Amino acid sequence: MNWGTISKYRNELFGVAIISIITLHYFEDVGGGKLYLSFIGAIGVDIFIFLSGMGLCFSMKKNSNIKDFYIRRIRRILPTYLLVAGLFYIYQDLIYEKQSIFKFLSDLLFITLFSEGNITFWFIGFIILMYIMYPLFFNTLSFNNKYRNIYFVGYMMLSIAFIILVKMVDVDFYNKIILLITRLPIFILGCYFGEKIYKELNFSLIEVVIIVVGVILEIYHGLTGIGPEFFIRLLFSIPLMLGIIYILKLIKSEKVNNILRIFGKYSLELYMLHIVYRMLLIDFHIRTTFLLYWSLAFIVLILSILVQKSLGVIRRR
């Protein structure tokens, strides 16, 4: 097992990540799951973002033209977002809440993410910002740049300092964007290690030490609740991914791998549609049960496949 193994299991890891996110929301809605929330929690989001940073590295390696990069990213995310979020906000803002068109546009364009803390589709807003910034990360964190490690340390220090500064200056604003701002470091980590994953390099001694420390800190945090959660997730995300890969290698079940690949392949659509049905359950005051929640999750998986394939046909025309 080396860094390249993460790329080989990319879709399976995306699958595990989206399933863990859906599971997190289930426990948030119905209660229980103390052990899951303590030791896993929202780390599926961090895996999602790490893999996104890694994937952008692979994309730029294939074609480093910045214009083409932005076109590819726009074509991948915007049609799905505008379709799903557009229909959802038409219903929620214009029909259900009888709000103005300005409110609809403010929600759709992520203005209320920053002004009101509307986190419905925060992940999409975050990843669009990361797409915009990525060419800078790619050029400075590339192996071709002899100062790559210095840039990496600098980016990590700046992102963590930015988190602390925003919290100190305006805690209300910090709470509005906490999901977004605390994911900056894990994205940078994905960009940095994307190079090593692409080249399938072996783990260095210091990397092994950091992986072990990440596991120890996660166990300690899970038992005591002590420590900055975003920083512990940052350190634990890589050993968790490696642990998942090890388990998949151990059980050697192509059926399990294929199921995870399906969830991973349609994870973007599944994430957005899952958020929609979760919000609709809240709007209609429908009590969430195990059977209802996971039945809807399965239906949404089917819808996700249909959405991606339909938009794929439109893109090719």
- In angstroms, the CA 264 to CA 52 distance is 12
The helices-and-strands tally (H runs, E runs) of the chain is 17, 0
* Inside any domain, residue 177: no
- pLDDT given for residue 317 in this prediction: 64
- In angstroms, the CA 293 to CA 194 distance is 35
Query: Could you count the other beta carbons within 10 Å of the beta carbon of residue 60?
Result: 23
- pLDDT given for residue 102 in this prediction: 96
Residues of the chain with pLDDT under 50: none
- pLDDT given for residue 37 in this prediction: 86
Q: What angle do CA 207, 134, 89 make, to 5 degrees?
A: 115
* Inside any domain, residue 152: no
For residue 48, give Cα distances in angstroms to 44, 204, 216: 6, 24, 22
Domain of residue 196 covers 4-145+186-316
Dihedral Cα 134, 12, 43, 215, nearest 10 deg = -110
- pLDDT given for residue 252 in this prediction: 87
- pLDDT given for residue 316 in this prediction: 67
* Inside any domain, residue 159: no
- In angstroms, the CA 189 to CA 40 distance is 19
* Inside any domain, residue 16: yes
Query: Could you count the other beta carbons within 10 Å of the beta carbon of residue 275?
Result: 23
* Inside any domain, residue 163: no
Reported for 138-146, long-range contacts at CB under 8 A and 24+ positions apart, including other chains, are 138/56, 138/57, 138/60, 138/64, 138/191, 141/191, 141/192, 141/194, 141/195, 142/195, 143/195, 143/199
* Inside any domain, residue 39: yes
Q: How many domains in the chain?
A: 1
- The pTM assigned to this predicted structure is 0.93
* Inside any domain, residue 165: no
* Inside any domain, residue 237: yes
Give per-residue pLDDT as tens, 104-135.
999 999 999 999 999 999 999 999 999 999 99
